[in-house]
Structure 1
Amino acid sequence: MLRRFRRRSAALVVTLGALVATLSACGDTGGDDASTIVRTTTNVAGAGVVGIERDTVGLCALPQPADTFGRQGDGRIVVGSGRTVTVPADPRRIVVLSMEALDASCAVGTWESVVGAPTVPLAPTAPPSALPRPDYLGTGIAQIAPVGPPSAPDVDAVRALAPDVVIGTDDLDPAVRDELDAIAPTVLTRAESSWTDRALLAATAMGRRDAASRAVDDYRARAEDVGRRLNSRLTEASVIRFHGDGADVLGDDSFAGQVLTAAGVRRPGPQQGPTAPLPADDLSVAEGDLIYVIFDGPEGLEYGRSVMETDAWKDLGAATDGRVFAVDDAAWSGDGVIAARTVLTDLENSLNGYV
């Protein structure tokens, strides 16, 4: 069945919406299905939620022709993570083991050839319609067969899909890597490479490096355009990611930080460097003209709320003025062109806005 990526994403299936979903009853629930309806909020501990009704129509690229450069008959040589692998020049059955490769398949128009992809954990409050994959990629990806989490793929599930190429990362267990090599040519991206390099390598393994290069160039051009239109150089944006037992101030080395920089958004002084823990006794490090908050799963949401409901947080200028925005962790902590475009869209909808 054709997987339809080009459908409008419903508010109830966005990752952040799932995290903040609440069950609400009206009147007597005896025999009344109203108590089972999942409703989402547009505010979390004073932070306005961005991207609740994200539009994914036309998100993924149309099919692109396979690259001619580097093609050797029906094959193509790909070098990644110190490994030289011969893959089909135009693969028809692709299994991806990372979200960055899944993102790349959307960006270069090979998503219909992806027969297997990893899953991500869902929040306990997620509705039945919630996706086991990043919602920013659209609802159609839910129809792709699961092959387990990125860190521990199900080799038997991969084998059953009879792929002609497998694309993963070099942090796979060597034993698992050897099993995958026995199933199909396996290309591994290097975890320490830039996200753009990883996207280009994944696309190369799909025979679409040219399309990926164009997608990256288009992203960079859009980032510059967004920056000009929003006068982003006038704004200092703070980015805080809450997890189960603490929080991080995302620096220039983070995916979100790199996209902000590409759009010309300035960062507060303490955030102009590598990612570092947010001191529990000095929340002033989180201050900015506005603050973007990210919740790493339900535990991150719980801890984040506990911090954002304190007087110390409420005393921050951005919180006092209603300039705190909650954004989607899957996109802002993502890897890939589509994730980066999503961050840019969130910037357009919030950088000069107020709750």
Structure 2
Amino acid sequence: MTSTSRRSSSTRRRTFRGVAAFGAAAVLLAGCGSGSDSDGKGNADAKSAADGGGTRTVKDATGRAVQVPAHPKRVVTLTQEDLDAVLALGVKPVGITNGQGLGEPPAYLKDKVKDVDVVGNLLQPVMDKVIKAKPDLILAGDMQDEQVLKQLREITPATLVTMAPTDDWKLSLRGVGNAVNKLDTANKVISDYEAKAKKTGGELGKGKGAEVSIVRWNPDGPSWMENKQFASLVATDMGLKRPKNQNKDGNAHTPTLSLEKIDEIDGDWIFLSTLTADGAKALKDVQGKPAYKELNAVKKGHVVTVDGSVWSTRGGPLAADKVIEDFKKALDK
């Protein structure tokens, strides 16, 4: 599966139509069960759980009840978002996949996982490598392939789909936090992030409340990000604004725009990313054309190139921190 198809909003909605009724809230809830199950807040209440044994029952993003170790020791993540989440929660996985559109872990997390085995590409695990990692918990991101999920559950029944179509990163983080029995930690991470975003946004000087366009350049042209897409949510948390034509609900990117509609990406500032070498080449080619040079942000020198593997994903707390720093660096001048 390509990174573009994986991130397609319409594909997600079609695939998840049968489970969307559960919504993201389901992933936050622990089910009822044996004495070592969760109390619904991610805290194990049985002595066996406190001692590191036993299991808890949690619900994943599809509403499926899954028994997980009370304190998982060997976690495998199949998406960048799950990797970001567990690292932020203080859990080092034993197996990970490469970043979106990459043949290696995402750059902003690379130093944190130098000695962790790679078990495949994004949402494309190599089963022999997963088995070798001996996981007691697999976080399968937004995995849609039921055959692959079946294989993963044969390796360990504690395999969870952690993301639903409308989940933002905070909701997904709480779900992952619940799965690894660190929901309190997840809530604190979110609280700390929100405080940092508000504080940083309020200290931007002339850049405070700036109008920011958030754009990804694809091989066939640009797309701007809707309000509920990851980087857009960070902008909102910082008190930043969006150009009028981009001030629309949605958690994905728009269809690719033609050169004739390039003015849709304009704003006081443009934060521009690519995900692939073809996208970077297409951007370089268009930067010499009059239509691009006539954008107000280009004329003012207000175009900032950012990391697409951070800005164009579904996000996580460590990625959110990187986006805050990118905004601060550009707008605080």
271, 292, 308: which one aligns with 1:329: 308
**Is 1:82 matched up with 2:55?**
no
Letter in 1 for 2:267: G
Greater strand fraction, Structure 1 or Structure 2: 1
8 A Cα contact 1:155 1:176, kept in partner = no
Letter in 2 for 1:162: K
Output the CA distance in 1 between the equivalents of 2:219 and 2:63. Answer: 36
Output the CA distance in 1 between the equivalents of 2:332 and 2:297. Answer: 12
8 A Cα contact 1:243 1:295, kept in partner = yes
State the TM-score, normalized to the length of structure 1: 0.74
**Greater RCO (CA < 8 Å, at least 6 residues apart):** 1
8 A Cα contact 1:159 1:183, kept in partner = yes
Q: Match of 1:238, SS?
A: strand
**Residue in structure 2 matched with residue 99 of structure 1 by the alignment:** 80
**Residue in structure 2 matched with residue 164 of structure 1 by the alignment:** 136
| Cα deviations by residue, 1:5-51 (Å, 9 ceiling, x for unpaired) | xxxxxxxxxxxxxxxxxxxxxxxxxxxxxxxxxxxxxxxxxxxxxxx
Per the TM alignment, residue 224 of structure 1 is displaced from its structure 2 partner at its CA by 0.6
Output the CA distance in 2 between the equivalents of 1:164 and 1:234. Answer: 46
197, 216, 220: which one aligns with 2:171: 197
**What residue ranges of structure 2 are gaps of 5+ in the alignment?**
1-40, 49-53
**Residue in structure 2 matched with residue 351 of structure 1 by the alignment:** 331
**Worse-matched range after superposition: 262-271 or 170-179:** 170-179
Output the CA distance in 2 between the equivalents of 1:191 and 1:121. Answer: 18
Identity of aligned residues (%): 30
Letter in 1 for 2:77: V
Output the CA distance in 2 between the equivalents of 1:189 and 1:224. Answer: 27
Output the CA distance in 2 between the equivalents of 1:263 and 1:333. Answer: 18
Letter in 1 for 2:72: P
**Residue in structure 2 matched with residue 188 of structure 1 by the alignment:** 161
Q: How does 1:1-355 map to 2 (within 5 A)?
A: 69-72=43-46, 73=48, 74-80=54-60, 81-111=62-92, 114-120=93-99, 132-184=104-156, 185-192=158-165, 193-231=167-205, 232-273=207-248, 274=250, 275-276=253-254, 277-334=256-313, 335-353=315-333
8 A Cα contact 2:97 2:123, kept in partner = no
| Cα deviations by residue, 1:291-334 (Å, 9 ceiling, x for unpaired) | 11101211110111122221111122211121111001111123
Output the CA distance in 1 between the equivalents of 2:331 and 2:188. Answer: 27
State the TM-score, normalized to the length of structure 2: 0.79
Output the CA distance in 1 between the equivalents of 2:229 and 2:42. Answer: 34
Greater helix fraction, Structure 1 or Structure 2: 2
Output the CA distance in 1 between the equivalents of 2:183 and 2:264. Answer: 40
Letter in 2 for 1:167: L
Q: Match of 2:223, SS?
A: strand
Output the CA distance in 1 between the equivalents of 2:150 and 2:45. Answer: 25
Q: Match of 2:120, SS?
A: coil
**What residue ranges of structure 1 are gaps of 5+ in the alignment?**
1-66, 124-130
Output the CA distance in 1 between the equivalents of 2:173 and 2:136. Answer: 19
**Residue in structure 2 matched with residue 8 of structure 1 by the alignment:** none
Output the CA distance in 2 between the equivalents of 1:314 and 1:340. Answer: 30
Output the CA distance in 2 between the equivalents of 1:308 and 1:351. Answer: 22
Letter in 2 for 1:228: G
8 A Cα contact 1:132 1:142, kept in partner = no
Output the CA distance in 1 between the equivalents of 2:168 and 2:42. Answer: 25
Output the CA distance in 1 between the equivalents of 2:110 and 2:194. Answer: 22
Output the CA distance in 1 between the equivalents of 2:101 and 2:152. Answer: 27
8 A Cα contact 1:233 1:266, kept in partner = no
Output the CA distance in 1 between the equivalents of 2:108 and 2:194. Answer: 19
Output the CA distance in 2 between the equivalents of 1:105 and 1:121. Answer: 17
Residue-pair matches, total: 278
Change (3 A) 1:245 1:142: farther
| Cα deviations by residue, 1:211-231 (Å, 9 ceiling, x for unpaired) | 111001111111111111015
Q: Match of 1:90, SS?
A: coil
Q: Match of 2:131, SS?
A: helix
Per the TM alignment, residue 253 of structure 1 is displaced from its structure 2 partner at its CA by 2.5
8 A Cα contact 1:240 1:248, kept in partner = yes
Output the CA distance in 2 between the equivalents of 1:89 and 1:121. Answer: 30
Letter in 1 for 2:106: P
Per the TM alignment, residue 71 of structure 1 is displaced from its structure 2 partner at its CA by 4.3
